[in-house]
Structure 1
Amino acid sequence: MKEMMIDENEKKKDEKFLTDLCECYLFLHYKCVPDELLSICVPCLLKAALKKEECEEAQKEKEIALLALSHIDRYYFFRQELFLNEIKEIIQHHQEHRNLTQLAYQSAWTFLMNRLYYANNLESLIVNELHFGREAARELDELAKSVSRKIKEEDEIEKEGKEVFIIREWFCTINYFLSSCKLWNAEFVKLIGSIVRVFLFSKDNHRRISIQCVYLVSDLAKNRNIGIEALMDEGAIDLFSEEMNQSTLKVDTIGKCLFFFMNASERLKEKTDGEAEEAKRKTTKRKVFEKLEKEGFEDIITSLYGEISLINENVIDTLSINVYDYFVNI
């Protein structure tokens, strides 16, 4: 295949055949792609994905090309001249014309996000120009509605349909963004709400997805660019309260729930600069206190206190052994 790809690239006679070869190679051999072949595959598949035709066959071809590109591991370095203008145009054209399938669009974002490993300068493009927070929120809302409708109409509980697969892929991309990027804007507040809505539809039907929601929102509490009030307003506290009332929870899931409240409590105890900001903090603190008191949250924490040492042996984020560090007092 390698020899055929190099040969076809030099001949430049059969573009469709070269595209097929590149797709097959990346799907079969994505863990070890020589630089020589990356310089062939990336431009070739981006060119295929840039085609403006919108018929069903063209959409499928673009979907396969972008899915193949998304398989390229983030640890591969290649020059931005090979991909940046093209992937930017693909994403922006879709935002304006909706010419890609849901899987194709998610794959385009995965391909771009994977390039962050060697290019932190892409953060501003991703956040401010391509509006990742807004787009991920919109896509998750649409996918959740689609899956919920199918469950209602066809009773497709616990089935790994295409939409469920795409949701899980979005979560992987969001998680990588959260661990790699420091930039944040107001659009990400809506993304929190979308993740919570996915949790609500999935908690009884797709347990793997609901647990991913718990992990994502728990990690968001560490980001000091996100206000605790925003987390509460978008339903994050409801998510954890509901999750911790489950009859059976795995140790790592309990750990993520406790980690969220430990971080929230710590941040609400910290005094802020300026009268207005301090008044806002106290108001938020009271709102959170009243909500958790209504939920009986302190009783839940107390019941789990004996497991914290066990949890700390099995999780990355260490939990406090002081039970009061999880409470919000006024």
Structure 2
Amino acid sequence: MHFEELFDEIGGCNEDEQKFKVEEMNELIEEMSKDEFETMDRKNLFDKITKKIEEKKLSMENAILLLKIVGYCKVMKKIYLFGFISDELISICVPYLLKVALKKEESEEVQKEVEMALLALCCAPECYDIEQKLYLNELKEIILYHQEHHNLTRLAYQFVWKILISKFSSGRGLEGMITKELHFVREARRELDELTRCIDWKRKDEKGEKETKEELALLRWIQKLNRFFYSCQMRNEENCNLIGSIVRVIRAENDDNGDFHFFCIQSLRIAAENRAVEVEDLLKGEAIDVIPVEIQRQTLNHNLTWNYLQLILKISERLIEKRDGETNKTKRKELKRKIFEKMEEEGYEDIITSFHIILHYLNFNFFNFLPEYYGDFLVNI
């Protein structure tokens, strides 16, 4: 394979010759199909890179140049890189990648370089227990600077958040910084709203159409929200606005069983289940409105039906439970009245009647136990 031949020749080259060969290898990687990239012996490649760095046969700058394109292609070709990069290589590369990611020039060339560095960094936090001191302050600086100067590409901004959210959902206690200092909820809402407006939803429904960059970006943001809601505990005044943005995506997608629909309702279900948002936020964000309309579609698959029914269950449970230290019972009673009136108005009562056995059953079983023709059990309004 020409790629391997070029890499083996690197050890005997000077700095400039190395760079030329690395650039040639990068071009070969970019031209690979997804199948070719998956069959590539990446573990062997990373081990060789580590060895050449240690033997001083490959400069750090050229090693990073090669690793960045591998990380970039891994993401763009939708391939999950797991268990290949050694701890030694991670500890060597992370500081250098962060140094590149901290560049603040707004030229197209630098933006691309920063984007690729951040994408390469995304391989590491998913798989390895990196010390916070190796990345936390730098990533915080990158986000704050972008929020003021808008120097990052949309993809780069997404993946700097991906690194932080992956650590937060691993129990690192970063919620205060993520929500209060970096305003994740506000930023996620803005991104969701902008991308929802950018997408041509009618074109998306046409079979065989390739996903656009905007569609992929929106899907990644929604998936990040799933991870965020799993660990979120702090009350945030902007939560109801974020719920509203998620609901707008559901309403925008015409495909009953599309990826956006699934991940959006999953986010709402996780948020309600893990106390990431108040029930009042779900009401104000119109999540209550969308449940009866969507769940009665006869074409919904079991995954979506299960998530909708679980969302109903969690909302109901939270409305009837007694809160610790509750001081305003009148306010809680009024909230219950508003929600039940809204659900009854939209057909909630008929849904409960239709599923009065299945709802209870769901507490003890997984969604795959739903009847094959669950739609036949629905009362059509």
Q: What is the CA–CA distance in structure 2 between the aligned matches of 1:255 and 1:165, rounded to whole Å? A: 25
Moved more, 219-228 or 161-170: 219-228
SS in structure 2 of the partner of residue 86 of structure 1:
helix
SS in structure 2 of the partner of residue 54 of structure 1:
coil
Offset, 1:135:
1.1
Match for 1:161 among 205, 212, 217?
A: 212
**Is 1:281–2:332 an aligned residue pair?**
yes
Kept in 2, the 8 Å contact 1:23–1:68? The answer is yes
Unaligned runs of 5+ in 1: 319-330
Normalization by structure 2: what TM-score? 0.73
Offset, 1:32:
2.1
Offset from partner CA, 1:301-330 (integer Å, 9 cap, x none): 3223455587554339x9xxxxxxxxxxxx
Q: What is the CA–CA distance in structure 2 between the aligned matches of 1:265 and 1:95, rounded to whole Å? A: 39
Q: What is the CA–CA distance in structure 2 between the aligned matches of 1:94 and 1:141, rounded to whole Å? A: 19
Q: What is the CA–CA distance in structure 2 between the aligned matches of 1:212 and 1:196, rounded to whole Å? A: 11
One-letter amino acid matched to 1:82:
L
**Is 1:226–2:284 an aligned residue pair?**
no
Offset, 1:52:
1.1
One-letter amino acid matched to 1:43:
P
Moved more, 179-188 or 11-20: 11-20
Q: What is the CA–CA distance in structure 2 between the aligned matches of 1:135 and 1:284, rounded to whole Å? A: 28
Query: What is the number of equivalent residue pairs in this alignment?
Result: 314
SS in structure 1 of the partner of residue 273 of structure 2:
coil
Kept in 2, the 8 Å contact 1:46–1:86? The answer is yes
SS in structure 2 of the partner of residue 210 of structure 1:
helix
- Give the fraction of aligned pairs with identical amino acids, expressed as a percent: 42
One-letter amino acid matched to 1:280:
K
Kept in 2, the 8 Å contact 1:192–1:231? The answer is yes
Offset, 1:47:
1.7
Match for 2:62 among 9, 17, 25?
A: 17
Kept in 2, the 8 Å contact 1:214–1:240? The answer is no
Q: How does 1:238-317 map to 2 (within 5 A)?
A: 238-271=289-322, 277-305=328-356, 307-308=358-359, 313-315=365-367
Q: What is the CA–CA distance in structure 2 between the aligned matches of 1:261 and 1:117, rounded to whole Å? A: 25
Normalization by structure 1: what TM-score? 0.83
- Residue of structure 1 equivalent to 2:175: 123
**Is 1:98–2:98 an aligned residue pair?**
no
Structure with greater Cα Rg:
2
Kept in 2, the 8 Å contact 1:221–1:260? The answer is yes
Q: What is the CA–CA distance in structure 1 between the aligned matches of 2:313 and 2:329, rounded to whole Å? A: 20
- Residue of structure 1 equivalent to 2:34: none
Unaligned runs of 5+ in 2: 1-44, 371-381
Q: What is the CA–CA distance in structure 1 between the aligned matches of 2:322 and 2:360, rounded to whole Å? A: 30
Q: How does 1:12-161 map to 2 (within 5 A)?
A: 16-26=61-71, 27=74, 30-116=82-168, 120-147=172-199, 150-151=200-201, 155-157=203-205, 159=209, 160-161=211-212
Structural RMSD (CA): 3.0
Q: 1:93 to 1:34 in 2, by over 3 A?
A: same
One-letter amino acid matched to 1:166:
A
**Is 1:195–2:246 an aligned residue pair?**
yes
Q: Relative contact order (C-alpha < 8 Å, sep 6+): which is higher?
A: 1
Kept in 2, the 8 Å contact 1:103–1:166? The answer is yes
Kept in 1, the 8 Å contact 2:272–2:315? The answer is yes
One-letter amino acid matched to 1:23:
K
Q: 1:174 to 1:6 in 2, by over 3 A?
A: farther
Offset from partner CA, 1:194-245 (integer Å, 9 cap, x none): 1111111124487111111111101211243632222111111112122112
